[in-house]
Amino acid sequence: MTIPKTHPFPFDPTYGMTLDTLRAIVPPEAPPGFDAFWQKRYKRALAIDPQPALRKSNLTHPAWQVLDITYTSTDEVTIGGWLLLPRDAPVRRGLVVGHGYGGRDAPDFDLPVEQTAILFPCARGMSRSAQAPIPPEAPGHVLHNIDSPDDYVIGGCVEDIWIAVSTLQALYPWLANRIGYIGGSFGGGLGALAIPFDNRIDRGHLIVPSFGDRKQWLTLPTVGSADSVQTYQKTHPDVLGHLRLFDAATAASRITVPMLVAAALFDPAVAPPCQFAVANAVPPSKYNEIFILDAGHFDYPGMTEQNFALREKLRGFLKLHEPGISALA
C-alpha cells in the first residue's frame, strides 16, 4: 500500500483508521419507515413515461455512436446526458453511469464493456440537467430542500437513476434485467440508494461511495459535500433525522445483486469510514468484492496502476455475472 504521507489538508484523511478497523465498521440501522419511503418513491418513478429524445451529438468516437439524450423524470424534470451505442456490435446489455459531485462534461469512452448501450445521465440540477432553483454546484446542491425528505434533491437524483433504467428499456425492450449501474463518489452514494429498490438493475459497481453512515458523515472533517451540510447543521440540529432516510450504508444492506465496491483508505472528500460503511453493508456473497484503493479524490504514487487493476477487475465483473444471478445465492 502507498497511502499518501504528505498532503495539504488540516486533518488526517485516514481519520486514524487502518484497513482492519475500516472493515470492522457496522452500518447503521434503518430508521422507522425507511423501506416504505423508498418503495413509495420507486412506485412513483415506475409510473413515469420517460419520453426519451435522441439526436446526433457533436462528439465523435471510432468505437461508439454518440447521441445526445433527454428524458423526463419525476417532478417533470428534464434530464440530459449522452447515450453511447457500439458501432460494430449488437446491443445486448445496458449500463447507467452516474457521476461525481463535479457534474459531467462528456461521456466516458473507456469503460471496459462490450455490446452495451451506455447511458450517462446528469443528475437533476447539474451539468446538462441544470434547472432552477436547484443550485448547480455541490455545496448548494446537497442542501436543496434538505429539511423536507419528500422534496430533498438527493431523492430526486435517485429517481433520475431509476428512470434512466426505464429509458434504456423503452429504447431497447430486450435489455430488461440486463442493465447495470456504475457510479463514483456522489454517483456511488446515489447508486447504493437506487439499486436495492429497483429489481431491474442486475449488478452494480460503486467507487468511493458517498452518503454512508450519515452520523459520521456529519461529524468527520472533509473538503467534500458534507462540509456545507456540517455548517448548516450548526443552525439546524435536526438535519440528521432527515438524512437518516438517505443513508447509503443503510440502503446497501438491502442489495441482492452482484456488487463490486471500491473503497479508499485515504480520502479528504468522502471519509473512508463512510465509504466502508457502504462497502461492508453489502451482504456477503461469492459474487461480491471490495476493492481497496490507497486513496480517493487525491493523486498518489501508484494511482495509475491501481486504477488499471480496478478497470480490469470491472471488466471481469461485468463479464462474469449473467442476468438473473442473485448475489445472495
Write out the DSSP string of 30-42.
Answer: PPTTHHHHHHHHH
pLDDT of residue 5: 83
pLDDT of residue 288: 95
Q: What is the pLDDT of residues 58-68, one digit of tens each?
A: 999 999 999 99
* Mean of pLDDT over the chain: 95
182 domain residue, yes or no: yes
pLDDT at 285 over 80: yes
Mean pLDDT of 111-135: 97
| Other beta carbons within 10 Å of 71 | 28
- How far apart, in whole angstroms, are the C-alpha atoms of residue 65 and residue 325? 30
pLDDT of residue 120: 98
pLDDT of residue 244: 98
Please name every residue paired with 126 in a beta bridge, in sequence order, or none if there are none.
none
* Structural domains counted in the chain: 1
327 domain residue, yes or no: no
Please name every residue paired with 54 in a beta bridge, in sequence order, or none if there are none.
69
pLDDT at 321 over 70: no
249 domain residue, yes or no: yes
pLDDT at 328 over 70: no
Eight-state DSSP code of residue 43: H
83 domain residue, yes or no: yes
- Residue found by looking up cell 434533491 in the block: 153
Exposure class string for 78-93: b at 16+ Cβ within 10 A, else e: ebbbbbbbbeeeebeb
13 domain residue, yes or no: no
- Residue found by looking up cell 434530464 in the block: 79
329 domain residue, yes or no: no
pLDDT at 115 over 90: yes
Helix intervals (H) in the chain: 19-23, 34-46, 138-141, 153-171, 186-194, 214-217, 226-233, 239-243, 248-252, 272-281, 303-320
Whether 225 contacts 189, CB under 8 Å: no
pLDDT of residue 324: 52
User: Which amino acid, residue 288?
Assistant: N
Residues 6 or more apart whose CB falls under 8 angstroms from that of 218 comprise 226, 229, 230, 233, 239, 240, 243
45 domain residue, yes or no: yes
Q: What is the pLDDT of residues 191-222, one digit of tens each?
A: 999 999 999 999 999 999 999 999 999 999 99
Q: What is the pLDDT of residues 147-185, one digit of tens each?
A: 999 999 999 999 999 999 999 999 999 999 999 999 999
Residue numbers of the domain that contains 186:
19-318
- How far apart, in whole angstroms, are the C-alpha atoms of residue 169 and residue 177? 9
Percent of the chain with pLDDT over 70: 97
- How far apart, in whole angstroms, are the C-alpha atoms of residue 92 and residue 86? 10
pLDDT of residue 323: 55
pLDDT of residue 277: 98
What is the CATH classification number for the domain harbouring 23? Answer: 3.40.50.1820
Mean pLDDT of 257-274: 98
Handedness of CA 180, 149, 48, 160 (dihedral sign): negative
Q: What is the pLDDT of residues 293-308, one digit of tens each?
A: 999 999 999 999 999 9
pLDDT at 320 over 60: no
Whether 198 contacts 162, CB under 8 Å: yes
- How far apart, in whole angstroms, are the C-alpha atoms of residue 242 and residue 261? 26
14 domain residue, yes or no: no
pLDDT at 325 over 90: no
Confidence of residue 2 (pLDDT cuts 50, 70, 90): confident
DSSP string across 251-287: HHTT--S-EEEEEES--SSS-HHHHHHHHHHSPP-TT
- How far apart, in whole angstroms, are the C-alpha atoms of residue 65 and residue 321? 26
